[in-house]
A = this chain, B = another copy of it.
Amino acid sequence: MHCARACRGLISRRSHTVLRAWRLQSRAAAAGPDLSGIYPPIATPFTAREEVDAEKLEENLQKYAEVPFKGLVVQGSNGEYPYLTAAERVEVVRTVRRSLPPGRLLMAGSGCESTRATVQLTEKMASAGADAALVVTPSFYKGKMDSRALIRHFTKVADSSPVPVVLYSVPANTGLDLPLEAVVELSQHPNIRGLKDSGGDITRIGLIVHKTKMEDFQVLAGSAGFLMAAYCVGAVGGVCALANVLGRELCELERLCRSGRWDEARVLQQRLIEPNAAVTRKLGVPALKQAMEWFGFHGGACRSPLQPLTEAETQQLRRDFSSNGWL
């Protein structure tokens, strides 16, 4: 709290004042797009030589166009963004933009370790057609990434971004949880639209919803494992790796939650936990891509050092889908 309060003074007040005034005039516009709904954080298909395979990507996109997603997340963690150059990241976004049906949101991962690189990539992503920028916490110098540093980082990025910013906290990869006090502070920034929380601490998610309720700020669950619980405590949607595979089912789960049919939702949610864990925490992106193949999408291999699944892992993956009736 302390820190947040101390920092408030540091944030470029002018841009805030201007933007907030503008927001009061045209609230809907300032608020940015409504984020609510389900998004697959799409995988990046590669050729045998580990080059981005635009053709296969487009074939996947055609299939996703038939699923009632709110939009797509491009170059999130499941897109193997740390393995792509900045140019490749932008090019993938451009490719997706071309294929995206009207009305769908394109959220592009533009986070880098340094503030300056993030600012630059966010601008490029906007130029390439992104509707919003999903900005992951920088994390290499974890010990120094306190609220003060993170508030400054995200504020600078949001100040200069041509499109709304969505904060992204994914401790399983970064070893860092965006502190609650930083989220609350940043939620007041007129160009910060929401948070994708992949940590899965439902108490924290509930508290974030509670403490940001006066702002135009929305919370998205970062995984299908706790999607229903997140809706229950006030989240408005989910960015779920599993949506690459079982997209329709996740959209159905969303529909049940939003229409208050919790008993039906519970049954569906429970069958999704193990498949979801398999393609995320347990076996990761290689498993996600393997499952995509089983369900008619192009998955294929990851860039090295991510390795193909072993035979035992593949069996485990299959079991996690089949024992829940999906295969």
Looking across the interface, which residue of chain B has its beta carbon closest to that of A203? B225
Question: What is the predominant secondary structure among interface residues of chain A facing chain B?
Answer: helix
Contact with B along A175-212 (1 / 0, CB 8 A): 10000000000000000000000001111001101100
Find the B residue at minimum CB distance from A287: B144
Number of this chain's copies in the assembly equals 4
* Segment at the interface with B among A29-37, A125-133, A134-142, A241-249: A134-142
Q: Which of A203, A274, A286 has the most CB of B within 10 A?
A: A203
In the bound complex, how far is the Cα of B112 from the Cα of A82, in angstroms?
Answer: 9
The total of chain A residues at the interface (CB under 8 A) is 64
Query: Is there an interface contact between B82 and A206, defined as CB atoms closer than 8 Å?
Result: no
Task: Give the docked Cα–Cα distance between A284 and B173 (Å).
Answer: 21
Residues in B neighbouring A202, C-beta threshold 8 A:
200, 202, 226, 229
Known A82-B114, A141-B285, A229-B233; contact A304-B152, beta-carbon cutoff 8 A: yes
Q: Is A52 an interface residue (CB 8 A)?
A: no
Known interface pairs A232-B262, A273-B210. Does A303 touch B115 (Cβ–Cβ under 8 Å)?
yes
Choose, from A101-109, A160-168, A263-271, the stretch at the interface. A263-271
A26 within 8 A of B: no
A93 within 8 A of B: no
With known contacts A50-B116, A117-B85, A305–B270 Cβ distance under 8 A: no
For A265, give the chain B residue with the smallest CB separation. B232
- State how many angstroms separate the Cβ of A24 from the closest Cβ of chain B: 26
Q: Are A144 and B262 in contact (CB under 8 A)?
A: no
Residues of B within 8 A of A138 (CB): 82, 305
User: Are B210 and A270 interface neighbours, CB within 8 A?
Assistant: yes
State the CA gap A207–B228 with chains docked (Å).
12
Closest residue of chain B to A232, judged by CB? B232
Residues of B within 8 A of A145 (CB): 305
Distance in Å from the Cβ of A198 to the closest Cβ of chain B? 11
With A206-B273, A228-B232 known to touch, is A305 a contact of B82 (CB < 8 Å)? no
Q: Which of B148, B153, B306 contacts A144 (CB 8 A)?
A: B306
Q: Which residues of A contact B (CB under 8 A)?
A: 50, 77, 82-85, 113-117, 138, 140-145, 148-150, 152-153, 156, 172-175, 200-203, 206-207, 209-210, 223, 225-226, 228-229, 232-234, 260, 262, 266, 269-271, 273-274, 277, 281-286, 303-307
